[in-house]
Amino acid sequence: MTDHDVEIYESREAQVGELRVRRALPTRGRRTVGAWCFVDHMGPMSLTPDRSIDVAPHPHMGLQTVTWLFAGEFLHRDSLGSEQLIRAGQLNLMTSGHGVAHSEENPGLRSGEMHGMQLWVAQPSTTRDGGAEFEHFDTMPTIETSNLSATVLVGSFAETSSPARRDSALVGVELNLHGGPVTVALEPNCEYALIVANGSVLVDGTVVQPGALAYLGAGRDECRFDSNAPSRAMLIGGVPFDERLFMWWNFVARSQDEISDAWRAWAAGDDRFGRVASPFARIEVSPPPWLMALH
Ligand code: MN
């Protein structure tokens, strides 16, 4: 075994609709982990009748959204006609391809705990201009060992595979560490990162807590985690993504021109992104900065 460095990247606070989140990716110095290009950690927070967190209809392209809750629920609606309630332990995976729109609404419930993550996966050039798709899974495969319960969202981990679509070699796993050491097998050709949702995880002598992304790098065939108390984290990984991404707002592209086209199509209410049957008005956004001078 060789020693590996763990790089810590602090998350930054961001606003998504009415929701304050910790954005763990992209961050200064770290844009992707495999094809994972975006991680928002929301909550834990208490919702009340006065405080709901609906995210109104908005477009995506060139990415997959992975919605994963530890507590609470959301109603997903999209321009494919999907209407799907998601609860803790269930997976919503939306593939945008050339274009899709969706809303995420906090249904009727409006009180109680909300805690989760939304992650984006950059689609490779082979699928990013293709069709949109939505998948929901009520239950996901889990792994139990003495000190660990794990749930495989995407890809394969510990010889357990998720049924969810994936367009590149990547993995996403919720780790519930019960306390004590845990060693997990990793793929040396993949890079990995850990985002702690609650508690605290020790990785190679480095303490990782909520509000940071711990980048584990590539070249490991295993990694040892330790915790003093029950702790929950998301482990993401994949083969380093070799296509240069251009990201703006809710779009993942390869150039400014692609972003400009997508923004114009959304602003015009074009069929490219379709319509979402939501009670909320669609989100309008100012043009990207390089178009501002033209408006
Ligand atoms: Mn979205």
Q: Note down pLDDT in tens along the chain; length 295 residues.
A: 445 689 999 999 998 777 789 999 999 999 999 999 999 999 998 887 777 788 999 999 999 999 999 999 999 999 999 999 999 999 999 999 999 999 999 876 667 889 999 999 999 999 999 999 999 999 999 999 999 999 999 999 999 999 999 999 999 999 999 999 999 999 999 999 999 999 999 998 899 999 999 999 999 999 999 999 999 999 999 999 999 999 999 999 999 999 999 999 999 999 999 999 999 999 999 999 999 876 5
Please give the distance, rounded to the nearest whole angstrom, from the Cα atom of residue 124 to the centre of ligand 1: 19
Query: At which residue do the structure tokens 């702690």 appear?
Result: 196
Please give the distance, rounded to the nearest whole angstrom, from the Cα atom of residue 250 to the centre of ligand 1: 7
Please give the distance, rounded to the nearest whole angstrom, from the Cα atom of residue 18 to the centre of ligand 1: 14
Asked whether the bond before 287 is cis by omega within 30 degrees of 0, the reply is no
Please give the distance, rounded to the nearest whole angstrom, from the Cα atom of residue 31 to the centre of ligand 1: 18
Residues 136/91, Cβ–Cβ less than 8 Å: yes
Question: Could you give the CA distance from residue 98 to residue 271 in angstroms, rounded to a whole number?
Answer: 11
Question: Could you give the CA distance from residue 260 to residue 276 in angstroms, rounded to a whole number?
Answer: 22
Please give the distance, rounded to the nearest whole angstrom, from the Cα atom of residue 273 to the centre of ligand 1: 12
Please give the distance, rounded to the nearest whole angstrom, from the Cα atom of residue 232 to the centre of ligand 1: 24
Please give the distance, rounded to the nearest whole angstrom, from the Cα atom of residue 134 to the centre of ligand 1: 12
Please give the distance, rounded to the nearest whole angstrom, from the Cα atom of residue 2 to the centre of ligand 1: 40
Give the CA distances from residue 240 to residues 38, 168, 215, in Å, rounded to whole numbers and listed in that order. 14, 10, 13
Please give the distance, rounded to the nearest whole angstrom, from the Cα atom of residue 76 to the centre of ligand 1: 10
| Pairing between β-strand 231-238 and β-strand 170-177 as defined by DSSP bridges | antiparallel
Report the first-to-last Cα separation within the chain, whole angstroms.
58
Residues 238/191, Cβ–Cβ less than 8 Å: yes
Q: In the CATH scheme, what architecture does the domain 7-238 have?
A: Sandwich (2.60)
| Pairing between β-strand 206-208 and β-strand 91-95 as defined by DSSP bridges | unpaired
Give the CA distances from residue 54 to residues 103, 243, 255, 280, in Å, rounded to whole numbers and listed in that order. 8, 33, 30, 8
- For residue 62, is it left (φ>0), alpha (ψ between -120 and 50) or beta? left
Hey, what amino acid is at 216? Answer: L
Number of CB atoms found within 10 A of residue 195's CB: 25
Residue-level pLDDT at 295? 56
Question: Could you give the CA distance from residue 54 to residue 188 in angstroms, rounded to a whole number?
Answer: 40
Please give the distance, rounded to the nearest whole angstrom, from the Cα atom of residue 102 to the centre of ligand 1: 6
At 212, is the secondary structure helix, strand, or coil? strand
Please give the distance, rounded to the nearest whole angstrom, from the Cα atom of residue 147 to the centre of ligand 1: 34
Question: Could you give the CA distance from residue 56 to residue 18 in angstroms, rounded to a whole number?
Answer: 10
Please give the distance, rounded to the nearest whole angstrom, from the Cα atom of residue 256 to the centre of ligand 1: 20
Please give the distance, rounded to the nearest whole angstrom, from the Cα atom of residue 155 to the centre of ligand 1: 21
